[in-house]
Structure 1
């Protein structure tokens, strides 16, 4: 019980620690520490954003124009100024608040300096990127707050909790998508259109059954179209080459099977062409293939060194059960969603945007094949953002000026607070990012004066350094 209450720290609780003892023990000069962090942040930010923007430019798949190059260079400079400004402001406000108040307290050791630094730095970044940044840090901050509460035994992990979050959030987004609210052109709806197909959009242009009827008539009039050989010589060669003949026969059987599946029953309320069975299987097969291709590509890229060292490693890398996790998740999600909608249309005799809610909840069960807390939280925050924007458009919610910027600053303050006082509750990837962007300074800040608050801060830092294989060294 005493340990639990030791983690509930009054805001007024302060420590008479100097900047040298806590913030920058590697130098006695505040100015030198601030400038050193700013310069390193600037060069590392330039490296990060230079790579990101150049890859984005190359992914357009065309020769860049002068305007493209100018926008890319301007974006690199602006984003570099934003990220390096955060590091500069954080160090500046740490030392400034210490000199102003004469001590550190639970807020000024990290959270408040990070919040103030973020207020100024986020205004440097382009408005179009602020929402994306706010969603990202809110995602990580949500997980961090949960870990902080769990470490205090206030909450406990819920089995399949991430699946529930993902299912509810995706069901909400799919309802918006099917109801035609995606006309706001949010990037999330482009992803949904790719996964579940364009036929579920509101008032899709090819709702008639003409395509299916024409195909059915064409198959009936040409029953042997897929099995006819082009010439007698081609048939003779097939008999000589038994392997080619078997392959040709298999393709003919496959084509006939596809014909029959396409010509199965389709309900009049269904907006897709061909049969409901074909619609379901086609979506599941497409996404399964894409998921498998992504998984194989990632494995090959991440293990390219091992493959070059010994090609025999290729078998152990690719032939694993987990290689099918992403593929089975994407395939099952698309298939379950499409099948559920077709069943609901048959039961009710009509199509409705409300069908996407139960269909999305059922399809969300596929997330058990590839559970990921980061993805679940991102979808949750994305659903919250789109719901809020739709509420503003309909006059349900008031528009709060600067809410995106405030959310970013508040979430960043939580992350920096956790990085200093209880880094074991921080996502390891974010700790590595802070360690890299600060040149190791985040690990060199002395945690010994902070142990008085009973959070085992020094031990927590040692665990994180060992877990993430980072070192407390200042890189200049």
Structure 2
């Protein structure tokens, strides 16, 4: 006897087969289009080679040439030699010996692997290397402090205000807590920038010269540690995670540049797949995730994927059906909107839905489609909102530019990324429930990994690295709670200081290995003074410090220099 469960199972399998067949047809169509587009080029190439002598007869001569099989007059020996590859094809003389090709030239030495260059020291002063815009250390320190203070306040003022509005803070917070927290974060960022230039000059005066580690890592390490102690403890973990992400990516780029690491194609997508698999597994487990991570995934995936949503799904589904019938019977006025809603409810409910699935208002197919539409809209609107500040200036000068706010490739890519992530995860979870006839937390590992492939629409190393760092932090704290990993006090401050020092070191000696967004942030914090460092002199350390700066050499006052400057300031 055929049961409803078996019919639903067959329907689900049939839909899966149809989906695979449609995908194969699309791939075949794309391949045929590529071949069709390339066919005229191949025909022209074959014709041109035939006219240029690519085709030859059995004796090695071009068709139609003199002396060939279809020619009338035999060609002379010199012409036969020319056509036959440099010698007479009818001659019995041995071919001349061929000279072997010269051996390939050895690869040029890598400047990064020169340890002797890293051990060098340069006698230049801090004015010649660092604050080239002013010979006074104190004046330069005050200028950096002023610019850092202005930019820090511009960064944190809207950030704290928007966060307070989104969290629905009460009036008491705006009166007593908003300004102190804002000033504390502003002081933290200002101190980080100003103390860097201070320790830059102090190390030069103590050591008497510059070494490979002093202009970047050595000056930024104590400055960053002192600065993070000013910030509130509740924000230190977030700042540490952000800077650890930046430093990890910077070290990875350094390893690739030096040849220590070979990058993997689509590596950010693979990292995202593994990270989302773990995140979704802990999301499905009871007490697996807490705080912001759980709230964010609940918003993205919906409450249907929460493990404690329902323990008796059939009972809840029956109650929902009864409530729906009561609402339909009580509604006497059936206008167009009500009919449309009734039709949509009927379409969404009529279809395969496994007994373990918790989406009681939809079948499995409409559940995936609704998830895609919802998150596609969210991603599209987020990207449009991010583009508003850059488009609003064209509102009166070029109104046509306003259309690019809605017709933008990045907006569609972000929407496709979020929409496909949710739909793939939900579809895979439903499919595994049909196959195994149960709901298991291990399904989230497979579904999360496959959903990570959606990053092919919106590749982002920053997102992958941030989520990976967040997962490492989550696993570490779980190990501490289980008593298997030790707890290190002030570890967040130390990690922040080391990570920031690595990024500053790259900003001084290897700007090409630093994330461009962070380099722009440093330029904004110092009002462009970071680019005025004399990186031409720092090339002696073998890190190609001036690679992205061309032949820039600052003009220096020879009265305050140790080494004669290349471009001295001329006094009238």
State TM-score, norm by structure 2: 0.72
Asked if the contact 1:49/1:76 (under 8 Å) is kept, the reply is yes
C-alpha displacement at 1:178, in angstroms?
0.8
Which residue, out of 317, 335, 350, partners 1:212? 317
Deviations 1:312-335 (A, max 9, x none): 334454335543211111111111
Question: Secondary structure at the residue paired with 2:548?
Answer: helix
C-alpha displacement at 1:182, in angstroms?
4.1
Report the counterpart of residue 560 of structure 2 in structure 1. none
Report the counterpart of residue 193 of structure 1 in structure 2. 298
Greater relative CO (CA pairs within 8 A, separation 6+): 1
C-alpha displacement at 1:403, in angstroms?
2.0
C-alpha displacement at 1:15, in angstroms?
1.5
Counterparts of 2:194 and 2:326, CA distance in 1: 75
Counterparts of 1:363 and 1:436, CA distance in 2: 37
Counterparts of 2:462 and 2:251, CA distance in 1: 14
Report the counterpart of residue 120 of structure 1 in structure 2. 226
- Please list every run of 5 or more consecutive structure 2 residues that lacks an aligned counterpart in the other structure: 1-106, 554-572
Q: Is structure 2 residue 482 aligned with structure 1 residue 394?
A: yes
State TM-score, norm by structure 1: 0.85
Asked if the contact 2:384/2:405 (under 8 Å) is kept, the reply is no
CA-atom RMSD, angstroms?
2.8
Counterparts of 1:391 and 1:314, CA distance in 2: 51
Equivalences for residues 42-441 of structure 1 within 5 A: 42-61=149-168, 64-182=170-288, 185-205=290-310, 207-217=312-322, 229=334, 248=336, 252=339, 255-274=342-361, 275-441=363-529
Counterparts of 1:9 and 1:224, CA distance in 2: 84
Distance 1:312 1:177, change over 3 A: same
Counterparts of 2:488 and 2:295, CA distance in 1: 27
Deviations 1:186-240 (A, max 9, x none): 212211111111222222246523443244456678989999646xxxxxxxxxx
Asked if the contact 1:7/1:455 (under 8 Å) is kept, the reply is no
Q: Is structure 2 residue 134 aligned with structure 1 residue 27?
A: yes
Distance 1:74 1:464, change over 3 A: farther
Q: Is structure 2 residue 161 aligned with structure 1 residue 36?
A: no
- Please list every run of 5 or more consecutive structure 1 residues that lacks an aligned counterpart in the other structure: 231-247, 466-476
Matched residues, number:
445
Asked if the contact 1:144/1:415 (under 8 Å) is kept, the reply is yes
Deviations 1:48-73 (A, max 9, x none): 222322232333456x4234332111
Asked if the contact 1:171/1:359 (under 8 Å) is kept, the reply is yes
Distance 1:330 1:6, change over 3 A: closer
Asked if the contact 1:7/1:453 (under 8 Å) is kept, the reply is no
Deviations 1:279-326 (A, max 9, x none): 322222211222222233334443123343343334454335543211
Asked if the contact 1:9/1:106 (under 8 Å) is kept, the reply is no
Counterparts of 2:308 and 2:342, CA distance in 1: 31
Counterparts of 1:83 and 1:301, CA distance in 2: 24
Larger Rg, first or second structure (1 or 2): 2
Question: Secondary structure at the residue paired with 1:266?
Answer: coil
C-alpha displacement at 1:445, in angstroms?
2.0
Distance 1:301 1:224, change over 3 A: farther
Q: Which 10-residue stretch deviates more, 335-344 or 12-21?
A: 12-21
Distance 1:220 1:46, change over 3 A: closer
Counterparts of 1:321 and 1:84, CA distance in 2: 37
